[in-house]
Chain A
């Protein structure tokens, strides 16, 4: 597709269950970002992938959170043993390698933990 695609768009899960969120970046984009946005709040950085370099995981809030990316393609964000405070919109973005390039965002996955 032409844009960044995220799935599912909405996810309701029970507390304690694991969830997996998917992001399909724009083809050719080497950089991929995950952010968390709580209701009415700003974008909280989670993790950043750039090509084949080691990812910047400094934003992951706990060891329940992990993310993978194979090469320059799809990324999955996994949250284990979900808690109610994990409820948020999870946004993915991708961009070209150069620092001045625009980051294109997906529509996000709204996660609700009940």
Chain B
């Protein structure tokens, strides 16, 4: 079974600085997708960024980028120019695409990010 591990329960960053959130996963599959979701205090889960395992190029969405290391099974999220609104729980997630069929969406335990003004 696939597992997702986020080893940092809490992180803190100064406003305008850069922070990196770690995520590792375990799978025997080669075709899958990885996601980062944000959950602010409102509880609404929001997709931040996604990465296809077959693409070597790291995904980027404005201030958010990932460092995808497939061999190491690592998928870290970098937030540049941190803003107060970035404060939230961040969840890393894995979904297989085995045989072209969507699998379950598996989450890590999350990292609580605080942004200091």
Binding site for B on A (CB under 8 A): 31, 33, 35, 41-43, 45, 48, 50, 56, 89, 91, 93, 95, 97-103, 105, 107-108
Contacts and interface: CB of A to CB of B under 8 A. Distances in A.
B28 interface: no
A107 B47 contact: no
Contacts of B108: 42
Given A97-B102, A99-B102, A100-B52, 18 more contacts: A33-B104, A33-B105, A42-B91, A42-B108, A48-B105, A91-B45, A93-B45, A93-B105, A99-B97, A99-B101, A100-B33, A100-B50, A101-B102, A102-B47, A103-B45, A103-B105, A107-B44, A108-B43
A43 B107 contact: yes
B78 to A, nearest CB: 20
A45 B106 contact: yes
A53 to B, nearest CB: 9
A95 B102 CA distance: 10
**Size class of the B contact interface (CB-based, 8 Å):** 20 to 34
Contacts of A93: 45, 105
Interface of B: 6, 31-33, 35, 43-45, 47, 50, 52, 91, 95-97, 101-110
Contacts of B109: 41-42
Q: Which has the most chain B C-beta neighbours within 10 Å: A35, A42, A50, A100?
A: A42
B91 A99 contact: no
Contact of B107 (A31, A35, A56): A35
Contact of B104 (A41, A48, A97, A105): A48
